[in-house]
Amino acid sequence: MRLFVGLGNPGAKYAHNRHNIGFMAVNEIARRHGFASWRRRFQGETAEGALDHEKVILLKPTTYMNDSGRAVQEAANFFKLSAGEITVFQDELELLPAKVRVKVGGGIAGHNGLRSISSHIGNDYRRVRLGIGHPGVKELVHPYVLSDFAKDEGAWVTALCAAVAENAGLLATDRDSAFQNKVHLAMQAKGFFDNGDDGAP
């Protein structure tokens, strides 16, 4: 069994924020793979299904980003999951828009959702870092992540969430490099990267 956690803030006000791309990704996984309906528990919303014959619980914490770890810990304890069986989908300022990187452990780069999760379950969970770009000035980061994606960003956001969902079974079966490569190739095929672009930030 695996726990896939999408990070974001609850409520319509935040639904299209850059900070909520983690929610968007797990919503698309649920939709594309026919997961059961979302229901409230573990201080969040969960949906259950299977990816590549592996049972997967999707979780969207409803505690707000800064307290995401409480919901993750509650779900992990209930299902008796280790940090290594948990995957977190997060927005990543340090990656260019539409880029994806997967890593286990490492720093949190100032991300309050990751800080909360690490404080509750340790640091050894997988992160799927979904690039949203950086506003260029540190002082603009907070309003940037809490603002909606611009209209001209909609195409790549939709395409990225679709590519993540299409290949999510690779994450459920620990094929991280294959997942990263498949998503990159899908985005490249749709014209979001040049052919010579290796996906590096």
C-alpha gyration radius of the chain: 16
Q: What are the distances in angstroms from CA 191 to CA 86, 122, 179?
A: 31, 38, 19
Catalytic residue among 19, 111, 120, 184: 19
- In 3D space, the residue among 155, 130, 135 whose CA is nearest the CA of residue 20 turns out to be 130
Which 8-state DSSP code applies to residue 17? B
Pairing of strands 126-131, 2-6: unpaired
Please state at what angle helix 154-166 crosses helix 21-32, rounded to 10 degrees: 50
- Annotated active-site residue 134? The verdict is no
Quote the CA–CA distance of 87 and 73 in Å, as a whole number.
13
List the catalytic residues.
Answer: 19
